[in-house]
Amino acid sequence: MPTREEYAATIEGYVRGGVNVGTSADDLYQSLRNTPYYAPRSVVREVWNEVVRADIFSPLINTLGEDELIPRSWVYRTNWKYTQPFAALVEVTGVNLVTGRSETKYVTKLYNNMPTTGQIYSDASDSIWVDETFPRFEPTTFSIQRVSHVRKASWSTP
C-alpha cells in the first residue's frame, strides 16, 4: 500500500488542474476514486489546501525586496523529487528576436538553501543570458511564480 507521500506525489498535478477549473477537493476525490490515481480523501484535501494556499501567496513574493527571504508560510510544499530541497519557478516575458513577437518562457532554478528573491531573479537572468536557455530571446520582465520546498527535506536558510 502506498504511503501518504506517494499518494500525494501521484495526484499533485491533478489537484493543480482541479483547482484551476474551480472544482472542489471532494469532487476531485470522487473523480479519481475509481482510477489508477486513487488517493484517500484526506490526502486529496491536504494537497488541495496546499495548492490553494500557494496560489494565494505566490503573487506576494514579487513584492518583497531583493535581499529578503520568502516567508516559510508562502512556500509551496511539494512531493516532487527535486535534486535540491528548494525550487523556484520564474516566468520570463520577452521578445522573440526572430519573429518580433512577445513570448512567455519559464525557468526553474534549484537551491540547497532558501534563496532571496534577488538571487532567484539573478539566476533566472543568468539562465537566459549566460546559459542561453532561450537563444534569440530578449527578456523584459521576470516574475517568480512559485517557490517550492520538498516535503521531508531539510529546511535551511543562508
Residue 69 has pLDDT above 80, yes or no: yes
Q: What is the mean pLDDT of the chain?
A: 84
| pLDDT value of residue 20 | 63
CA–CA separation, 106 and 94 (whole Å):
11
Q: What is the pLDDT of residues 34-49, one digit of tens each?
A: 888 888 998 888 888 8
To 5 degrees, how large is the angle CA 104–CA 108–CA 114? 130
| pLDDT value of residue 88 | 93
Q: How are beta strands 76-78 and 86-96 bridged, if at all?
A: unpaired
**Mean pLDDT (whole number) for 78-85:** 82
Q: What is the pLDDT of residues 89-146, one digit of tens each?
A: 999 999 988 899 999 989 999 999 999 999 999 999 888 877 666 778 888 999 998 8
CA–CA separation, 35 and 14 (whole Å):
12
Strand partners, 146: 89
